[in-house]
A and B are shown apart, each in its own frame.
Chain A
Amino acid sequence: CAALSPVPSGAPSSTAAQAGRPYREAIDIGGRLSLRYQGNSKEEALHGSFAWSQSGGTTTVTLLSPLGQTLAVITAGPSGATLAQSGQPLRSAADVDTLTAETLGWPLPVAGLRDWLQGFAAARDGTNVIATPAAQDIVTRDGWELRYPAWSDAEGGEPPHPRRIDLARRTAQAGDVSIRIVIDTWQPR
């Protein structure tokens, strides 16, 4: 397989081979997240955990309360996105990011996270970049600032993958949004 060439420090490299970490189309990821955003009257904060299941063109994200109750189930696929909350009618929209922003009151960038959870991103200048322990900061094309401060240790032949991801962006509907994600389980399919 491709020799793992050292990654130039500082600038995220542009090829998967350099990072030694393939992009996984089908993967289940679980972890915790916390979130801060500007609600309509005051600053809001949310803590919880998530289960992320991605295969083919479809992504299903379950958001859970700290004690494990389902807060929302979001699915995003080629034919649009749906969002289910307990005690509420199912909502759907063409674009998942607008759906989450309208329904939850804060944008969960599901489309972008398909790449960002694995440390891949389209940078501001349009090039595809890959975060690594030596290159942790990326500004994405749609203005999210990503930081990868913690990484898993390589085990079982799997190269290190992101362990903690911080996302920040100024948004129209929810002001300054900052999301922190910690990845606990990482199962490529």
Chain B
Amino acid sequence: GALDQFRSFATTTKTARGQFTQRQVKAVQGSPKVSNAATGTFAFARPGRFVWTYLKPYEQVMMADGEKLYLYDKDLNQVTVKNLDASTLGSSPAAILFGSNDLEKNFVLKDAGSRDGMEWLDATPRSNDSTFERLSIGLKDGVPRAMELRDSFGQLSLISFDKFDKNPALPADEFKFVPPKGADVFQQ
């Protein structure tokens, strides 16, 4: 089932790299309305380092280097630097898949059967101050292929991992954030 696939994924995957597509689905007057897709790339290395980069329709980077979390938006021309702690990591979906903390500490996990050619796992946050109500991870051949995040307002984020390389060699500076020239940097 999905739970043992996920557990083996968590223990056997030290690094990963790939591409994602993200869509938002929100109920507008009762009928679901799918927003246009955002696409980008991701990479991670346990423990605690990941980079989640939106390339289209705009450029945005979320990077954790094990110590700090960097949030950069090209149009806003701004970098925000925060300390990495359980609160920033615990409930952020990117951190859930790639973070260092053990998922089951922060979430109740349960098999949710198969659909769309994947085995699904439901993760419900143990604390109620996380921004989403439920997160589902779809696995196939031992790696995540999709993630669904539902918040308590019925907003749904659908992420598909179009490419997922398991345990690639990553360059040493993969998780070294260099603020783009001219961007305003705010240390929190």
Contacts and interface: CB of A to CB of B under 8 A. Distances in A.
Given A44-B188, A45-B80, A67 B149 contact: yes
Interface stretch (A5-13, A69-77, A115-123, A140-148): A69-77
B128 A182 contact: no
A179 to B, nearest CB: 10
B171 interface: no
A155 to B, nearest CB: 16
B58 A32 contact: yes
B157 A34 contact: no
Contacts, number: 77
A47 B188 contact: no
Interface residues of B, number: 30
Interface residues of A, number: 28
Nearest to B60: A66
A180 interface: yes
B164 to A, nearest CB: 18
A42 interface: yes
Contact of A32 (B73, B92, B153, B155): B73
A67 B62 CA distance: 10
A187 interface: no
A45 B73 CA distance: 13
Nearest to A51: B26
A67 B53 CA distance: 11
Interface in A99-154: 150
Contacts of B128: 87
A86 B134 CA distance: 12
B151 A32 contact: no
Most buried by B among A43, A69, A86: A69
Interface in A26-60: 32-34, 36, 42-45, 47
B73 A70 contact: no
Interface string B17-53: 0000010100000000000000000000000000000
Interface string B151-167: 11101010000000000
Contact of B155 (A34, A47, A68): A68
B60 A69 contact: no
A69 B151 contact: yes
B69 to A, nearest CB: 10
A67 B157 contact: yes
Contacts of B58: 32, 182, 184
A127 B62 CA distance: 42
A70 B131 contact: yes
A104 B58 CA distance: 27
A47 B129 contact: no
Given A36-B186, A43-B186, A45-B188, A69 B155 contact: yes
Given A67-B94, A68-B157, A69-B149, 15 more contacts: A32-B73, A34-B73, A36-B186, A43-B188, A44-B188, A47-B73, A66-B60, A67-B22, A68-B22, A70-B131, A86-B133, A180-B76, A182-B75, A182-B76, A184-B57
7 contacts: A32-B76, A34-B78, A42-B188, A43-B186, A47-B73, A67-B149, A69-B149
Interface of B: 22, 24, 57-58, 60, 62, 71, 73, 75-78, 80, 82, 92-94, 128-129, 131-133, 149, 151-153, 155, 157, 186, 188
